[in-house]
Structure 1
């Protein structure tokens, strides 16, 4: 039986409903084994006050954001988790090596690393959610800069708010791309009411009419 992270890697590879050949499945298995040995995952988060005013104005801590899609996601939230995570530079080195020596393996490894990061973030979000349940608070799905109209320039704000360079070695390029490359930042709304939101977010959710759905 195919496990959850293998299914996620297959999704990243773009197979859709098509069958995956045995050679690719073997590459996926080997890639995850190498990632298990190589990854040095780290994360950091802080909770800030959150205010949504109007349809597209969001304030989180001292960060002011103009985004209709984020505002929809955070509607009703008075607090938000500001979150950053990375698989570390060792994964970048591994991917670079295969990009020079084995392109097929490189493509599969990229997909597996993306799935690995997603699984890591899901586990962290579940852990944060369990802590907040004791306070009768509930998390919304993760929402990252670049989703919908949430401007990617806010990567800079998030990295500064979390001091990620010092705490987990996460920085960004002049074009606002995160480095190490297998990294993510996100906003996670905290609500007083529990919503039936899938932790993996809108890409894999079939509820097309959800009011928190990303555009």
Structure 2
């Protein structure tokens, strides 16, 4: 297991306010000043290999993952990078202790922006360290084809990720701290996003439009 501490990164109040359709810039700047010291990003990743392939499953590090889409994406791939990223628990404690509903919402969204930035920092690190021109990722629970229950297998690859970066997986398959993400990076010639196969209409985190042709291609419909 390798640990990456992305370090501080600049979150700009104006860009966050624009994204969230907030016109009170001073409020956003004040909340960002409160949140910034509590953002403590860390990432853990592995260099793993696809050991077996089936039509609807792959074996990575002796763990079998069941997903047609994952198997399709990894059909010509040997090396993959399981990962867990978090911004730590401190910001969530601030959110829970904030009484104003709007401020709670905005602080929580600042956490989402920070987590996405930490995720991107890991992606850039992997590309630079391993000489990858383009990589994509998938995450258990992001598609019906790869259910959230597969988180157990993903976490089992790491061993004691709690000691490494402070992230645990609960019995209900939720990650703690709440602002954490996990998944599997893999080299790709064409960018792949789970969103392309997901028909959910309203999703603030959508990274790509729903592609019905691609969904048919992957056997999702």
TM-score by length of 2: 0.75
Q: Which moved more, 1:142-151 or 1:71-80?
A: 71-80
Shift of 1:206: 4.5
Shift of 1:33: 2.9
SS at match of 1:181: coil
Quickly say closer, same or farther: Cα 1:105–1:169, change in 2 above 3 A: same
Confirm whether residue 146 of structure 1 aligns to residue 141 of structure 2: yes
Write the distance in 2 (CA, Å) between the matches of 1:144 and 1:4.
Answer: 30
Structure 1 gaps, min length 5: 11-19
Quickly say closer, same or farther: Cα 1:113–1:67, change in 2 above 3 A: same
Write the distance in 2 (CA, Å) between the matches of 1:97 and 1:155.
Answer: 29
Partner of 1:16: none
Shift of 1:7: 7.3
Aligned counterparts, 1:23-38, within 5 A: 23=24, 25-38=25-38
Q: Give the root-mean-square deviation of aligned CA atoms.
A: 3.1
Measured against aligned partners, the alpha-carbon deviations of 1:78-124 in whole angstroms (never above 9, x if no partner) come to 111010111111122111112xx111111112122112101111111
How many corresponding residue pairs? 196
Shift of 1:199: 8.2
- Contact conserved, 1:52 with 1:71, CA < 8 A, in 2? no
Quickly say closer, same or farther: Cα 1:22–1:3, change in 2 above 3 A: closer
Write the distance in 2 (CA, Å) between the matches of 1:214 and 1:124.
Answer: 30
Aligned counterparts, 1:49-198, within 5 A: 49-51=49-51, 53-98=53-98, 101-133=99-131, 137-148=132-143, 149-162=145-158, 163-190=160-187, 195-197=189-191
Quickly say closer, same or farther: Cα 1:214–1:155, change in 2 above 3 A: farther
Structure 1 segments, 4+ long, off by >4 Å, are 2-5, 198-202, 209-215
- Contact conserved, 2:161 with 2:167, CA < 8 A, in 1? yes
Partner of 1:17: none
TM-score by length of 1: 0.77
SS at match of 1:204: coil
Shift of 1:73: 3.0
Partner of 2:208: 205
- Contact conserved, 1:46 with 1:82, CA < 8 A, in 2? yes
Measured against aligned partners, the alpha-carbon deviations of 1:21-74 in whole angstroms (never above 9, x if no partner) come to 413x54444333333211111111011111563331111111101111222333
Quickly say closer, same or farther: Cα 1:75–1:52, change in 2 above 3 A: farther
Write the distance in 2 (CA, Å) between the matches of 1:7 and 1:141.
Answer: 28
Structure number with greater CO (CA < 8 Å, separation at least 6) is 1
Structure 2 gaps, min length 5: 1-11, 197-205
